[in-house]
Structure 1
Amino acid sequence: MPHSLRIAYARGVTPGKWARIWGERFRRHPLELIQIEAVTDADAELQAVRNGAADLAFVRLAEGETQPGDVHLIALYEERPFVVAPKGHVIEAADEVALAALEGEVRHPFDDDIEQHVEVVAANVGVVVVPQSIARLYARKDVVSRPVTDGPGWRVGLAWLKDAPAEAQPHIDEFIGVVRGRTANSSRGADAGAKSAEQGKPPAKGAAAPAASGADRRRKPRAQGRPSRAGRSRRRPTR
Protein backbone atom coordinates (compact mmCIF):
# COMPACT_ATOMS: atom_id res chain seq x y z
CA MET A 1 0.00 0.00 0.00
CA PRO A 2 1.31 3.52 -0.72
CA HIS A 3 2.72 5.47 2.20
CA SER A 4 0.07 8.19 2.05
CA LEU A 5 -3.29 8.96 0.47
CA ARG A 6 -3.70 12.13 -1.60
CA ILE A 7 -7.11 13.78 -1.81
CA ALA A 8 -7.87 16.75 -4.06
CA TYR A 9 -10.90 18.91 -3.33
CA ALA A 10 -12.70 21.75 -5.06
CA ARG A 11 -12.89 25.14 -3.39
CA GLY A 12 -15.69 25.30 -0.86
CA VAL A 13 -15.81 21.54 -0.24
CA THR A 14 -14.84 20.67 3.33
CA PRO A 15 -13.26 17.19 3.56
CA GLY A 16 -12.06 17.77 7.14
CA LYS A 17 -14.51 15.31 8.74
CA TRP A 18 -13.38 12.41 6.56
CA ALA A 19 -9.71 13.38 6.88
CA ARG A 20 -10.04 13.33 10.68
CA ILE A 21 -11.62 9.85 10.66
CA TRP A 22 -8.87 8.60 8.34
CA GLY A 23 -6.21 10.00 10.67
CA GLU A 24 -7.74 8.21 13.65
CA ARG A 25 -7.90 4.83 11.90
CA PHE A 26 -4.82 4.79 9.67
CA ARG A 27 -2.09 6.64 11.55
CA ARG A 28 0.67 4.88 9.62
CA HIS A 29 -0.66 6.21 6.30
CA PRO A 30 -1.08 10.02 6.45
CA LEU A 31 -3.58 11.80 4.25
CA GLU A 32 -2.56 14.78 2.13
CA LEU A 33 -5.20 17.35 1.09
CA ILE A 34 -4.73 19.27 -2.17
CA GLN A 35 -7.00 22.21 -3.00
CA ILE A 36 -8.21 22.44 -6.60
CA GLU A 37 -8.26 25.93 -8.08
CA ALA A 38 -10.95 25.11 -10.66
CA VAL A 39 -14.50 25.53 -9.31
CA THR A 40 -16.87 24.94 -12.23
CA ASP A 41 -15.31 22.52 -14.71
CA ALA A 42 -15.33 18.86 -13.64
CA ASP A 43 -12.67 18.00 -16.23
CA ALA A 44 -10.37 20.65 -14.80
CA GLU A 45 -11.15 19.51 -11.24
CA LEU A 46 -10.09 15.98 -12.16
CA GLN A 47 -6.69 16.95 -13.55
CA ALA A 48 -4.96 16.17 -10.25
CA VAL A 49 -6.32 12.60 -10.40
CA ARG A 50 -5.54 12.14 -14.06
CA ASN A 51 -1.94 13.35 -13.83
CA GLY A 52 -1.21 11.26 -10.73
CA ALA A 53 -0.99 14.13 -8.23
CA ALA A 54 -4.01 12.78 -6.28
CA ASP A 55 -5.68 9.42 -5.74
CA LEU A 56 -9.25 10.75 -5.34
CA ALA A 57 -10.97 14.11 -5.76
CA PHE A 58 -14.02 15.83 -4.34
CA VAL A 59 -15.52 17.52 -7.41
CA ARG A 60 -18.47 19.81 -8.03
CA LEU A 61 -20.68 19.25 -11.08
CA ALA A 62 -23.28 21.71 -12.32
CA GLU A 63 -26.84 20.42 -12.50
CA GLY A 64 -27.18 18.41 -15.71
CA GLU A 65 -23.42 18.16 -16.25
CA THR A 66 -22.40 14.72 -17.51
CA GLN A 67 -20.11 12.59 -15.38
CA PRO A 68 -16.72 12.11 -17.09
CA GLY A 69 -16.45 8.59 -18.51
CA ASP A 70 -13.00 7.74 -17.16
CA VAL A 71 -13.91 7.97 -13.47
CA HIS A 72 -16.11 6.36 -10.88
CA LEU A 73 -18.14 8.92 -8.93
CA ILE A 74 -20.10 8.68 -5.67
CA ALA A 75 -22.70 11.44 -5.32
CA LEU A 76 -22.48 12.89 -1.81
CA TYR A 77 -24.82 15.88 -1.58
CA GLU A 78 -26.42 18.72 -3.53
CA GLU A 79 -25.69 22.42 -3.12
CA ARG A 80 -28.34 25.11 -3.39
CA PRO A 81 -27.58 28.26 -5.38
CA PHE A 82 -27.02 31.46 -3.38
CA VAL A 83 -26.94 35.02 -4.69
CA VAL A 84 -24.19 37.29 -3.37
CA ALA A 85 -24.99 41.01 -3.45
CA PRO A 86 -23.52 44.19 -1.92
CA LYS A 87 -24.41 45.05 1.67
CA GLY A 88 -27.62 47.08 1.78
CA HIS A 89 -29.04 45.46 -1.37
CA VAL A 90 -32.80 44.84 -1.39
CA ILE A 91 -32.30 41.08 -1.06
CA GLU A 92 -31.02 41.66 2.47
CA ALA A 93 -34.63 42.05 3.64
CA ALA A 94 -35.65 38.67 2.20
CA ASP A 95 -35.16 35.13 3.51
CA GLU A 96 -34.76 33.76 -0.03
CA VAL A 97 -34.82 35.12 -3.56
CA ALA A 98 -36.27 34.08 -6.93
CA LEU A 99 -34.21 34.64 -10.06
CA ALA A 100 -36.85 37.06 -11.33
CA ALA A 101 -35.90 39.44 -8.51
CA LEU A 102 -32.43 39.76 -10.05
CA GLU A 103 -33.61 40.98 -13.45
CA GLY A 104 -31.81 44.13 -14.53
CA GLU A 105 -28.82 43.39 -12.29
CA VAL A 106 -25.32 42.94 -13.66
CA ARG A 107 -24.74 39.18 -13.29
CA HIS A 108 -21.12 38.15 -12.89
CA PRO A 109 -20.32 34.58 -13.98
CA PHE A 110 -19.48 31.80 -11.58
CA ASP A 111 -16.04 30.75 -12.78
CA ASP A 112 -12.49 30.31 -11.53
CA ASP A 113 -12.19 34.10 -10.96
CA ILE A 114 -14.96 34.00 -8.37
CA GLU A 115 -12.84 35.70 -5.70
CA GLN A 116 -12.38 38.74 -7.97
CA HIS A 117 -16.10 38.76 -8.82
CA VAL A 118 -16.99 38.93 -5.13
CA GLU A 119 -14.59 41.87 -4.79
CA VAL A 120 -16.46 43.68 -7.57
CA VAL A 121 -19.83 42.88 -5.98
CA ALA A 122 -18.55 44.28 -2.67
CA ALA A 123 -17.77 47.50 -4.57
CA ASN A 124 -21.52 47.74 -5.29
CA VAL A 125 -21.34 46.50 -8.88
CA GLY A 126 -23.74 43.67 -9.71
CA VAL A 127 -24.45 40.27 -8.12
CA VAL A 128 -23.21 36.70 -8.59
CA VAL A 129 -24.98 33.36 -8.11
CA VAL A 130 -22.80 30.65 -6.61
CA PRO A 131 -23.05 27.34 -4.70
CA GLN A 132 -23.80 27.69 -0.99
CA SER A 133 -20.29 26.59 0.05
CA ILE A 134 -18.70 29.25 -2.16
CA ALA A 135 -20.96 31.95 -0.68
CA ARG A 136 -19.82 30.81 2.75
CA LEU A 137 -16.15 30.61 1.73
CA TYR A 138 -16.10 34.19 0.43
CA ALA A 139 -18.40 35.73 3.03
CA ARG A 140 -17.46 39.31 3.90
CA LYS A 141 -18.88 42.14 5.97
CA ASP A 142 -19.59 44.21 2.86
CA VAL A 143 -21.68 41.57 1.02
CA VAL A 144 -24.85 39.65 1.79
CA SER A 145 -26.01 36.28 0.46
CA ARG A 146 -29.43 34.64 0.24
CA PRO A 147 -30.63 31.25 -1.12
CA VAL A 148 -32.15 31.22 -4.61
CA THR A 149 -35.43 29.33 -4.81
CA ASP A 150 -35.58 28.43 -8.50
CA GLY A 151 -32.04 28.34 -9.87
CA PRO A 152 -30.10 25.26 -10.95
CA GLY A 153 -27.85 23.81 -8.26
CA TRP A 154 -24.73 21.71 -8.10
CA ARG A 155 -23.82 18.24 -6.84
CA VAL A 156 -20.66 17.28 -5.02
CA GLY A 157 -19.17 13.82 -5.41
CA LEU A 158 -16.05 11.76 -4.76
CA ALA A 159 -14.28 10.63 -7.93
CA TRP A 160 -11.38 8.31 -8.74
CA LEU A 161 -10.01 6.80 -11.93
CA LYS A 162 -11.49 3.56 -13.22
CA ASP A 163 -7.96 2.42 -14.02
CA ALA A 164 -6.39 3.63 -10.77
CA PRO A 165 -2.92 2.18 -10.05
CA ALA A 166 -3.12 -1.19 -8.31
CA GLU A 167 -0.86 -0.06 -5.47
CA ALA A 168 -3.25 2.82 -4.65
CA GLN A 169 -6.47 0.77 -4.79
CA PRO A 170 -6.39 -0.56 -1.19
CA HIS A 171 -6.20 2.97 0.24
CA ILE A 172 -8.84 4.19 -2.22
CA ASP A 173 -11.19 1.42 -1.09
CA GLU A 174 -10.60 2.28 2.57
CA PHE A 175 -11.30 5.98 2.03
CA ILE A 176 -14.48 5.21 0.09
CA GLY A 177 -15.54 3.16 3.11
CA VAL A 178 -14.87 6.12 5.41
CA VAL A 179 -16.98 8.42 3.23
CA ARG A 180 -19.79 5.87 3.07
CA GLY A 181 -19.82 5.54 6.85
CA ARG A 182 -18.10 2.18 7.25
CA THR A 183 -17.17 1.67 10.91
CA ALA A 184 -13.66 0.97 12.14
CA ASN A 185 -14.61 -2.64 12.99
CA SER A 186 -15.82 -3.31 9.46
CA SER A 187 -12.87 -1.57 7.81
CA ARG A 188 -10.68 -3.95 5.83
CA GLY A 189 -7.54 -2.43 7.23
CA ALA A 190 -8.80 -2.33 10.78
CA ASP A 191 -9.88 -5.98 10.80
CA ALA A 192 -6.38 -7.38 10.84
CA GLY A 193 -5.33 -5.01 13.60
CA ALA A 194 -8.38 -5.81 15.65
CA LYS A 195 -7.77 -9.56 15.40
CA SER A 196 -4.16 -9.23 16.46
CA ALA A 197 -5.14 -6.95 19.32
CA GLU A 198 -7.57 -9.58 20.58
CA GLN A 199 -4.78 -12.09 21.08
CA GLY A 200 -3.62 -12.16 24.69
CA LYS A 201 -6.63 -10.26 26.01
CA PRO A 202 -8.49 -11.78 28.97
CA PRO A 203 -11.83 -13.38 28.10
CA ALA A 204 -14.76 -11.00 28.13
CA LYS A 205 -17.15 -11.12 31.06
CA GLY A 206 -19.51 -14.04 30.57
CA ALA A 207 -17.24 -15.83 28.11
CA ALA A 208 -16.44 -19.51 28.61
CA ALA A 209 -13.40 -20.14 30.81
CA PRO A 210 -10.42 -21.93 29.26
CA ALA A 211 -10.16 -25.68 29.73
CA ALA A 212 -8.46 -26.72 33.00
CA SER A 213 -5.09 -28.43 32.99
CA GLY A 214 -4.63 -32.02 34.19
CA ALA A 215 -3.36 -30.87 37.59
CA ASP A 216 -6.36 -28.58 38.05
CA ARG A 217 -8.76 -31.40 37.21
CA ARG A 218 -7.27 -33.65 39.96
CA ARG A 219 -7.97 -31.10 42.66
CA LYS A 220 -11.26 -31.55 44.45
CA PRO A 221 -13.10 -28.36 45.27
CA ARG A 222 -13.84 -27.76 48.95
CA ALA A 223 -17.47 -28.36 49.82
CA GLN A 224 -19.39 -25.12 49.97
CA GLY A 225 -20.92 -24.17 53.26
CA ARG A 226 -18.32 -26.13 55.37
CA PRO A 227 -16.10 -23.67 57.20
CA SER A 228 -12.38 -24.30 57.42
CA ARG A 229 -10.82 -25.31 60.75
CA ALA A 230 -9.44 -21.83 61.20
CA GLY A 231 -12.86 -20.38 60.62
CA ARG A 232 -14.79 -22.68 63.10
CA SER A 233 -15.89 -21.18 66.36
CA ARG A 234 -14.77 -23.05 69.53
CA ARG A 235 -17.47 -23.83 72.06
CA ARG A 236 -16.61 -23.22 75.65
CA PRO A 237 -17.57 -25.91 78.22
CA THR A 238 -20.56 -25.07 80.38
CA ARG A 239 -19.77 -24.47 84.02
Structure 2
Amino acid sequence: MTAPETAPDPAVFRLAYVPGVTPAKWVRIWQERLPDVPLELLQVAVPAASDLLRDGGADAGLVRLPVDRNVFSAIPLYTETTVVVVPKDHLVAAVDEVSVSDLADEVLFHPLDDALGWEEPPGRPAIERPATTADAVELVAAGVGLLVVPQSLARLHHRRDLTYRPVVDAPQSSVALCWPEDATTDMVEDFIGIVRGRTVNSTRGRRTDEEQRKPSKGGKGQKAGKGQQGGKGGAQSPQRRTGSGPGGGRTGGGKASRGSGRATGRPRRRG
Protein backbone atom coordinates (compact mmCIF):
# COMPACT_ATOMS: atom_id res chain seq x y z
CA MET A 1 0.00 0.00 0.00
CA THR A 2 1.43 3.38 -1.03
CA ALA A 3 1.66 6.14 1.53
CA PRO A 4 -0.40 9.23 0.67
CA GLU A 5 1.53 12.22 -0.61
CA THR A 6 2.21 14.88 2.00
CA ALA A 7 0.66 18.25 1.18
CA PRO A 8 3.07 21.21 1.15
CA ASP A 9 3.25 23.13 4.42
CA PRO A 10 1.26 26.38 3.92
CA ALA A 11 3.46 28.15 6.50
CA VAL A 12 6.58 27.66 4.34
CA PHE A 13 7.41 29.89 1.37
CA ARG A 14 8.78 27.70 -1.44
CA LEU A 15 10.97 29.51 -3.96
CA ALA A 16 12.09 27.71 -7.11
CA TYR A 17 15.12 28.89 -9.07
CA VAL A 18 16.82 27.76 -12.25
CA PRO A 19 20.57 27.06 -12.57
CA GLY A 20 22.70 30.19 -12.84
CA VAL A 21 20.34 32.33 -10.75
CA THR A 22 21.62 33.33 -7.30
CA PRO A 23 18.77 34.08 -4.86
CA ALA A 24 21.03 34.44 -1.79
CA LYS A 25 20.58 38.23 -1.37
CA TRP A 26 16.78 38.06 -1.38
CA VAL A 27 16.74 34.97 0.85
CA ARG A 28 18.87 36.80 3.43
CA ILE A 29 16.48 39.77 3.46
CA TRP A 30 13.51 37.40 3.83
CA GLN A 31 15.13 35.72 6.84
CA GLU A 32 15.78 39.11 8.45
CA ARG A 33 12.25 40.41 7.91
CA LEU A 34 10.25 37.21 8.32
CA PRO A 35 12.25 35.01 10.71
CA ASP A 36 9.13 33.02 11.65
CA VAL A 37 8.37 31.99 8.06
CA PRO A 38 10.83 29.41 6.67
CA LEU A 39 11.90 29.84 3.04
CA GLU A 40 12.55 26.61 1.15
CA LEU A 41 14.75 26.78 -1.98
CA LEU A 42 14.03 24.38 -4.85
CA GLN A 43 16.46 24.19 -7.76
CA VAL A 44 14.67 23.20 -10.97
CA ALA A 45 15.78 22.73 -14.58
CA VAL A 46 14.68 25.43 -17.05
CA PRO A 47 12.19 23.20 -18.97
CA ALA A 48 10.51 22.01 -15.72
CA ALA A 49 10.12 25.38 -13.98
CA SER A 50 6.71 26.29 -15.44
CA ASP A 51 5.18 22.89 -14.64
CA LEU A 52 6.45 23.05 -11.04
CA LEU A 53 4.83 26.47 -10.50
CA ARG A 54 1.62 25.54 -12.31
CA ASP A 55 1.19 22.38 -10.24
CA GLY A 56 1.73 24.21 -6.93
CA GLY A 57 5.12 22.67 -6.21
CA ALA A 58 6.49 26.16 -5.47
CA ASP A 59 4.89 29.48 -4.54
CA ALA A 60 7.09 31.55 -6.85
CA GLY A 61 10.18 31.08 -8.98
CA LEU A 62 13.22 32.88 -10.35
CA VAL A 63 12.96 31.62 -13.91
CA ARG A 64 14.08 32.42 -17.43
CA LEU A 65 11.67 34.18 -19.78
CA PRO A 66 9.49 33.68 -21.71
CA VAL A 67 6.64 32.23 -19.63
CA ASP A 68 2.95 31.83 -20.45
CA ARG A 69 1.53 35.23 -19.47
CA ASN A 70 -2.02 33.83 -19.59
CA VAL A 71 -1.11 31.69 -16.57
CA PHE A 72 1.76 33.49 -14.83
CA SER A 73 2.55 36.95 -13.57
CA ALA A 74 6.19 37.93 -14.02
CA ILE A 75 8.49 40.75 -12.95
CA PRO A 76 11.58 40.95 -15.21
CA LEU A 77 14.73 41.40 -13.10
CA TYR A 78 17.76 41.45 -15.43
CA THR A 79 19.10 40.28 -18.79
CA GLU A 80 22.33 38.31 -19.06
CA THR A 81 25.24 38.57 -21.47
CA THR A 82 25.49 35.55 -23.78
CA VAL A 83 28.91 33.88 -24.05
CA VAL A 84 30.56 31.01 -25.88
CA VAL A 85 32.45 28.46 -23.77
CA VAL A 86 35.70 27.29 -25.40
CA PRO A 87 38.91 25.47 -24.43
CA LYS A 88 41.65 27.88 -23.33
CA ASP A 89 43.81 27.01 -26.34
CA HIS A 90 41.01 27.67 -28.86
CA LEU A 91 41.35 30.54 -31.38
CA VAL A 92 38.30 32.27 -29.87
CA ALA A 93 40.18 32.65 -26.59
CA ALA A 94 42.56 35.08 -28.32
CA VAL A 95 39.84 37.71 -29.02
CA ASP A 96 37.66 39.90 -26.78
CA GLU A 97 34.30 39.00 -28.35
CA VAL A 98 32.80 37.15 -31.30
CA SER A 99 29.65 37.19 -33.44
CA VAL A 100 27.37 34.30 -34.34
CA SER A 101 28.84 34.23 -37.86
CA ASP A 102 32.32 33.67 -36.37
CA LEU A 103 31.02 30.36 -35.01
CA ALA A 104 29.46 29.13 -38.27
CA ASP A 105 32.10 26.42 -38.86
CA GLU A 106 32.21 25.22 -35.24
CA VAL A 107 30.31 22.28 -33.76
CA LEU A 108 27.96 23.91 -31.25
CA PHE A 109 26.12 21.93 -28.60
CA HIS A 110 22.43 22.61 -28.03
CA PRO A 111 21.55 20.85 -24.75
CA LEU A 112 17.97 19.84 -23.92
CA ASP A 113 17.91 22.34 -21.05
CA ASP A 114 19.01 25.19 -23.36
CA ALA A 115 18.29 28.60 -21.80
CA LEU A 116 18.47 30.74 -24.95
CA GLY A 117 15.56 29.46 -27.01
CA TRP A 118 17.27 29.60 -30.41
CA GLU A 119 14.95 29.65 -33.42
CA GLU A 120 17.80 28.13 -35.37
CA PRO A 121 20.97 27.25 -33.43
CA PRO A 122 24.15 28.48 -35.16
CA GLY A 123 27.17 26.44 -36.16
CA ARG A 124 27.29 22.78 -37.13
CA PRO A 125 25.02 20.54 -35.04
CA ALA A 126 26.52 17.81 -32.88
CA ILE A 127 25.56 14.17 -33.52
CA GLU A 128 23.42 14.18 -30.34
CA ARG A 129 21.98 16.87 -28.10
CA PRO A 130 23.47 16.63 -24.59
CA ALA A 131 20.87 16.11 -21.85
CA THR A 132 22.12 19.00 -19.72
CA THR A 133 24.34 22.08 -19.89
CA ALA A 134 26.73 20.34 -17.47
CA ASP A 135 27.09 17.44 -19.95
CA ALA A 136 27.73 19.89 -22.79
CA VAL A 137 30.49 21.62 -20.78
CA GLU A 138 32.21 18.25 -20.32
CA LEU A 139 32.14 17.73 -24.08
CA VAL A 140 33.63 21.19 -24.67
CA ALA A 141 36.45 20.28 -22.27
CA ALA A 142 37.03 17.11 -24.33
CA GLY A 143 37.56 19.29 -27.42
CA VAL A 144 34.48 18.00 -29.26
CA GLY A 145 32.70 21.32 -29.78
CA LEU A 146 31.66 24.66 -28.25
CA LEU A 147 28.70 25.84 -26.18
CA VAL A 148 26.78 29.15 -26.16
CA VAL A 149 25.06 29.94 -22.84
CA PRO A 150 24.10 32.83 -20.52
CA GLN A 151 27.18 34.06 -18.66
CA SER A 152 25.93 32.85 -15.26
CA LEU A 153 25.91 29.26 -16.53
CA ALA A 154 29.46 29.60 -17.85
CA ARG A 155 30.48 30.75 -14.36
CA LEU A 156 28.45 28.01 -12.66
CA HIS A 157 30.24 25.30 -14.67
CA HIS A 158 33.66 26.96 -14.59
CA ARG A 159 36.70 24.77 -15.25
CA ARG A 160 40.39 25.69 -15.27
CA ASP A 161 40.83 24.37 -18.80
CA LEU A 162 37.92 26.41 -20.22
CA THR A 163 37.19 30.09 -20.76
CA TYR A 164 34.40 32.09 -22.40
CA ARG A 165 33.90 35.16 -24.59
CA PRO A 166 30.81 37.36 -25.24
CA VAL A 167 28.77 36.65 -28.37
CA VAL A 168 27.58 40.12 -29.34
CA ASP A 169 24.59 39.27 -31.57
CA ALA A 170 23.29 36.09 -29.91
CA PRO A 171 19.88 35.85 -28.20
CA GLN A 172 19.96 36.84 -24.53
CA SER A 173 18.30 35.27 -21.52
CA SER A 174 16.20 37.38 -19.14
CA VAL A 175 15.49 36.30 -15.56
CA ALA A 176 12.18 37.11 -13.89
CA LEU A 177 10.30 36.53 -10.65
CA CYS A 178 7.30 34.47 -11.71
CA TRP A 179 4.22 33.02 -9.96
CA PRO A 180 0.76 31.71 -10.95
CA GLU A 181 -1.52 34.71 -11.46
CA ASP A 182 -4.39 33.12 -9.53
CA ALA A 183 -2.15 32.28 -6.56
CA THR A 184 -0.85 35.69 -5.50
CA THR A 185 -0.66 34.96 -1.78
CA ASP A 186 0.46 37.29 1.02
CA MET A 187 3.84 35.52 1.10
CA VAL A 188 4.25 36.06 -2.65
CA GLU A 189 3.47 39.76 -2.09
CA ASP A 190 6.09 39.83 0.68
CA PHE A 191 8.72 38.42 -1.67
CA ILE A 192 7.72 40.82 -4.45
CA GLY A 193 8.33 43.68 -2.02
CA ILE A 194 11.80 42.34 -1.20
CA VAL A 195 12.75 41.88 -4.86
CA ARG A 196 11.55 45.38 -5.70
CA GLY A 197 13.61 46.86 -2.87
CA ARG A 198 10.72 48.07 -0.71
CA THR A 199 11.56 48.91 2.87
CA VAL A 200 10.37 46.92 5.86
CA ASN A 201 7.85 49.69 6.69
CA SER A 202 6.03 49.53 3.35
CA THR A 203 3.29 47.15 4.62
CA ARG A 204 5.68 44.19 4.33
CA GLY A 205 5.62 44.53 0.54
CA ARG A 206 1.83 44.34 0.23
CA ARG A 207 -0.40 47.09 -1.13
CA THR A 208 -3.72 47.49 0.65
CA ASP A 209 -6.95 48.30 -1.22
CA GLU A 210 -6.79 51.86 0.12
CA GLU A 211 -3.21 52.32 -1.18
CA GLN A 212 -4.18 51.04 -4.62
CA ARG A 213 -6.97 53.66 -4.85
CA LYS A 214 -4.63 56.56 -4.01
CA PRO A 215 -2.99 58.45 -6.92
CA SER A 216 0.75 57.92 -7.12
CA LYS A 217 3.01 60.66 -5.73
CA GLY A 218 5.05 60.60 -8.93
CA GLY A 219 2.06 61.70 -11.04
CA LYS A 220 1.30 64.61 -8.68
CA GLY A 221 4.92 65.80 -8.78
CA GLN A 222 4.96 65.81 -12.56
CA LYS A 223 1.86 68.04 -12.70
CA ALA A 224 3.34 70.58 -10.31
CA GLY A 225 6.54 70.82 -12.34
CA LYS A 226 4.84 71.26 -15.71
CA GLY A 227 5.63 74.95 -15.94
CA GLN A 228 9.31 74.31 -15.35
CA GLN A 229 9.85 72.08 -18.36
CA GLY A 230 12.17 73.54 -20.98
CA GLY A 231 12.29 73.37 -24.75
CA LYS A 232 9.58 73.61 -27.40
CA GLY A 233 6.21 72.07 -26.78
CA GLY A 234 6.96 71.52 -23.09
CA ALA A 235 9.56 68.83 -23.78
CA GLN A 236 11.12 67.61 -20.57
CA SER A 237 14.64 68.75 -19.85
CA PRO A 238 17.12 65.86 -19.77
CA GLN A 239 18.32 67.13 -16.39
CA ARG A 240 14.85 67.03 -14.82
CA ARG A 241 14.49 64.58 -11.96
CA THR A 242 11.27 62.71 -11.34
CA GLY A 243 10.02 60.42 -8.64
CA SER A 244 9.64 60.70 -4.89
CA GLY A 245 13.35 60.76 -4.01
CA PRO A 246 15.33 63.83 -2.99
CA GLY A 247 14.92 66.59 -5.55
CA GLY A 248 11.97 64.85 -7.26
CA GLY A 249 9.90 67.19 -9.42
CA ARG A 250 12.64 69.90 -9.63
CA THR A 251 14.72 70.93 -12.57
CA GLY A 252 18.43 70.23 -12.47
CA GLY A 253 19.47 73.31 -14.44
CA GLY A 254 21.20 75.00 -11.48
CA LYS A 255 21.56 78.79 -11.79
CA ALA A 256 20.19 78.85 -15.32
CA SER A 257 16.77 77.71 -14.09
CA ARG A 258 16.31 80.47 -11.49
CA GLY A 259 15.16 84.02 -12.01
CA SER A 260 15.59 84.17 -15.79
CA GLY A 261 15.94 87.84 -16.81
CA ARG A 262 16.14 89.07 -13.19
CA ALA A 263 19.02 91.37 -12.18
CA THR A 264 21.65 89.79 -9.96
CA GLY A 265 24.18 91.21 -7.53
CA ARG A 266 23.83 93.39 -4.42
CA PRO A 267 20.81 95.77 -4.16
CA ARG A 268 21.42 99.50 -4.35
CA ARG A 269 21.17 101.51 -1.18
CA ARG A 270 18.41 104.02 -0.88
CA GLY A 271 19.50 107.63 -0.81
**What TM-score does the superposition give when structure 1 sets the normalisation length?**
0.71
**Residue of structure 1 in register with 2:193 after alignment:** 177
Q: How does 1:1-239 map to 2 (within 5 A)?
A: 2-36=10-44, 38-39=45-46, 41=47, 44-61=48-65, 65=66, 67-112=68-113, 113-164=132-183, 169-188=185-204
1:175-205, Cα deviation, whole Å (9 max, x unpaired):
0000000011214379xxxxxxxxxxxxxxx
Query: Residues 177 and 187 of structure 1 are in contact (CA less than 8 Å); yes or no, is this contact kept in structure 2?
Result: no
SS in 1 for 2:176: strand
The residue type equivalent to 2:19 in the other structure is R
**Regions of 4+ moved over 6 Å:** none
**One-letter amino acid of the counterpart of residue 195, structure 2:** V
Distance in 1 of aligned mates of 2:100 and 2:85: 12
Instruction: Give 1:99 shift.
Output: 1.4
Identity score, percent: 48
Distance 2:101 2:41 in 1: 39
| Paired residue type of 2:198 | R
- When Rg is computed on C-alpha atoms for both structures, the one with the higher figure is 1
CA distances 1:92-128 after superposition (whole Å, capped 9, x unpaired): 1112111122121001004321111110000011101
SS of corresponding position for 1:163 = helix
| Change over 3 Å in CA distance of 1:13–1:92 after alignment to 2 | same
- Corresponding letter in the other structure for 1:97: V
Amino acid at match of 1:111: L
Larger RCO of the pair (alpha carbons < 8 Å, separation 6+): 1
Contact 1:87 1:122 in 2 (8 A): no
Q: CA RMSD in A?
A: 1.8
Counterpart residue identity of residue 162, structure 1: E
Unaligned segments of structure 2, at least 5 residues: 1-8, 114-131, 207-271
Could you tell me which runs of 5 or more consecutive residues in structure 1 were left unpaired when the two chains were aligned.
191-239
Cα offset for 1:68?
Answer: 3.8
The corresponding residue for 2:211 is none
Q: CA contact under 8 A between 1:83 and 1:129: conserved in structure 2?
A: yes
Give the TM-score of the pair, scaled to structure 2.
Answer: 0.63
Residues 85 and 144, structure 1, Cα contact 8 Å, conserved in 2: yes
The CA distance in 2 between the partners of 1:184 and 1:90, in whole Å, is: 51
